[in-house]
Amino acid sequence: MYYKQKYTHLFFDLDNTLWDFDRNAKLAMRDTVDQLKLNGQVPDFNLFYDFYEAVNKQLWDAYRKQEVHKKELITRRFAETLNHFEIKNVDPVAMNELYLDFMAQQTSLVEGAMDVLNDLKSNNYKLQIITNGFRQVQLRKLENSGIAHFFDHVFISEDLKYPKPDIRVFQHAIRSCNAKKAKSVMIGDNWETDILGARNFGIDQIFFSKDSKMPDNHPNNTPTDKKNDTFPAYTPHSNTYRIENLTNILRLL
């Protein structure tokens, strides 16, 4: 199938855009709890995971704002969770390392991801990754899930020393790929980091969201009338589109 190339360079987020973070992270935590034999001290795994997830989200938000460093993030998220459930004699740093190892072993992809990547690559689009995260974990996710070969470059916040939505991330990626801003688009599921970051830099964005209501700070907050529909919202520097299924990317290219 032939697609007219409105864009030449496609910049993908990884977690929950291509790699099913929600599913994989919970499976990795289950493996971690089992490996450490904590089931007797964790009366309800879902409550344990939900508490960890809330703490982790807060710390990642702070990390993106450069309010905490990597070492503090990886220590506190487990230290606070273990303390809350009064679990003793577990090293939070060692638990974090075990969790990240199990995380990188998970292989579930977002529905349609493999088909979309195959289709895009066969039609000569230049595919890249821009992801917030830790280098070794993100690279292993790509390798183990069988999608690393699709991408010419992988830009990781830990390497760049500043995370999305910092516009320097997008600036570095565009320059490294010798891409034109007008022929580039960012595809991601996070409104703040992926979409606003790319918009502030001045490239088009595709917001991958199953929620038919756009965020409050979207310039055109009118929901779509049809499931899986797409629509543009024009800004001074770039266009914003929304898709509910990953395969709908093909309709915008």
Which residue would you say has higher pLDDT here, 234 or 222? 234
Q: Mean per-residue pLDDT for 213-231? A: 44
* Residue 210: predicted pLDDT: 79
Q: Is the pLDDT confidence value at 223 over 70?
A: no
Rounded to whole angstroms, the Cα distance separating 80 from 88 reads: 12
Burial of 152 per CB tally in 10 Å (0-12, 13-18, 19+): exposed
CB-based contacts of 184, cutoff 8 Å, min separation 6:
7, 8, 9, 10, 11, 174, 203, 204
Rounded to whole angstroms, the Cα distance separating 32 from 52 reads: 13
pLDDT tens digits along 13-54:
999 999 999 999 999 999 999 999 999 899 899 999 999 999
Which residue would you say has higher pLDDT here, 250 or 174? 174
β-pair type (126-131, 9-12): parallel
pLDDT tens digits along 93-138:
999 999 999 999 999 999 999 999 999 999 999 999 999 989 999 9
Rounded to whole angstroms, the Cα distance separating 45 from 59 reads: 21
223 to 6, 39, 98, 228, 248: CA distances (angstroms):
25, 43, 42, 11, 17
> Which of 61-65, 101-105, 236-240 is modeled with the greatest confidence?
101-105
Task: Dihedral sign for Cα 148, 13, 80, 24, please.
Answer: negative
Other beta carbons within 10 angstroms of residue 179's beta carbon come to: 19
For the chain, how big is the Rg over CA atoms in Å? 19
Give the DSSP H/E element, type plus range, for residue 139: helix 135-144
What's the pLDDT band for 222 if we cut at 50, 70, 90?
Answer: very low
* Residue 229: predicted pLDDT: 42
Rounded to whole angstroms, the Cα distance separating 252 from 250 reads: 5
Q: Mean per-residue pLDDT for 69-83? A: 94
* Residue 58: predicted pLDDT: 96
Rounded to whole angstroms, the Cα distance separating 112 from 119 reads: 11
To the nearest whole number, what is the mean pLDDT of the chain? Answer: 89
44 to 30, 33, 47, 92, 219: CA distances (angstroms):
11, 11, 5, 19, 42
The proportion of the chain whose per-residue pLDDT surpasses 70, expressed as a percent, equals 88
Phi, psi of 207 (to 5 degrees): -90, 115
- Per DSSP, helices labelled H in 65-91 are 70-84
* Residue 237: predicted pLDDT: 62
Rounded to whole angstroms, the Cα distance separating 253 from 247 reads: 11
